[in-house]
Amino acid sequence: MKIISWNVNGIRAVEKKGFVDWLLKSGADVVCIQETKANPGQLSQALISPGAEVPQLTGPAETDGATNGILYHSYFSSAKKPGYSGTAIYSKTEPDSVETMGDGRFDDEGRVTIAKFNTEKKDKKLAVISAYFPNSQDAGARLDYKLAFCDAMKEKCDALVKDGFNIVLCGDYNIAHKPIDLANPKANEGNAGYLPEERAWMDTFTSAGYVDTFRHFCEEPKQYTWWSYRFHAREKNIGWRIDYQCVNPSFIDKVKSSVIMSDVMGSDHCPICVEVEG
């Protein structure tokens, strides 16, 4: 099973840069999207039902031609504020259920979409989470909100694991965990995304057993997922690794690989991908 996560920084904008074609050729079983900046009513049919020749299909189907028979079902959690935040999940297989956080503080900003699979199959239950963690902003203006979201997310993950689910928490965490995860750690110690409180939460999360899958496989520096649009930062690889796919500890043995897809353009972030057995 191949699971991709990508902060697209505006799904309508990335559509103009070939997103649907990329999605249909990605080979992914599930694609988690963050920062959609739109609600479904604003989207083209190509974004609602990628690969479908007829609108609003409710079950698995195949199409002909350039789509190679691929069809993705789409699920969106949108912010009340227009053009802001938002998450989505595309899945080849219809999930058994799709949920949000169940907390208005975060659902009002479309921060989370959760797809549950194999809910009736013991030892095969899987929850794939697309999460857009808040930015703590300059001078920590939204740090309290950010940390409240982080704590609520850990509680959600704990509850899912207790209920027998394996979890893949995909998304833009807006946190560079350790000095290796950004190009200029010293210069950014007081900046959003690298505040001590944010890094401490990541310590708490991973100390609880949740595994940063990329670092499980790769300990090399200069591996980033976000670059500023300014100063040719991506060209110079002056970036931050703030996008993650974390799993519960009992699931890590099923993770075959975890990679950064830095060659994929279209956003200031690049996609990341895990492959898991089954």
Between 62 and 192, whose confidence is greater?
192
Catalytic residue among 123, 158, 172, 243, which?
172
- The yes-or-no verdict on residue 111 having pLDDT over 60 is yes
In this predicted structure, what is the pLDDT of residue 60?
Answer: 37
Please determine, for residue 75, whether its predicted confidence score (pLDDT) is greater than 80: yes
Instruction: List the CATH number of the domain containing 262.
Output: 3.60.10.10
Q: What is the mean pLDDT of residues 188-205?
A: 98
Give mean pLDDT, residues 118-137.
95
pLDDT band at 219 (very low <50, low <70, confident <90, very high): very high
Q: Give me 85's structure tokens.
A: 């935040």
The pLDDT of residue 44: 97
Which string of DSSP letters, residue by residue, matches 66-105?
GGTT---EEEEE-BSSTTS--EEEEESSPPSEEE--S-HH
Alpha carbon distances (Å) from 30 to 85, 107, 137: 20, 21, 30
pTM, two decimal places: 0.93
Res. 270 pLDDT band, cuts 50 70 90 = very high
Is 172 catalytic? The answer is yes
DSSP letters, the chain, are -EEEEEE-S-HHHHHTTTHHHHHHHS--SEEEEE---S-GGGS-HHHHSTT-SSTT--S-----GGGTT---EEEEE-BSSTTS--EEEEESSPPSEEE--S-HHHHTBT-EEEEEE-TTSTTT-EEEEEEEPPP--GGGTTHHHHHHHHHHHHHHHHHHHHTT-EEEEEEE-----SGGGBS-TGGGTTSTTS-HHHHHHHHHHHHTT-EEHHHHH---SS--SEE-SSTTHHHHT-EE--EEEEE-GGGGGGEEEEEE-TT--SSSB--EEEEE--
pLDDT at 53: 56
Q: How many structural domains compose the chain?
A: 1
- Inter-helix orientation angle 143-162/196-207, to 10°: 10
The average pLDDT across 83-89 equals 98
Q: Mean pLDDT, the chain, as a whole number?
A: 94
Question: What is the average per-residue pLDDT within 199-213?
Answer: 98
Query: Per-residue pLDDT for 55 more than 90?
Result: no
What local confidence, expressed as pLDDT, does residue 63 receive? 34
- Please give the residue range of the domain that contains residue 202: 2-276
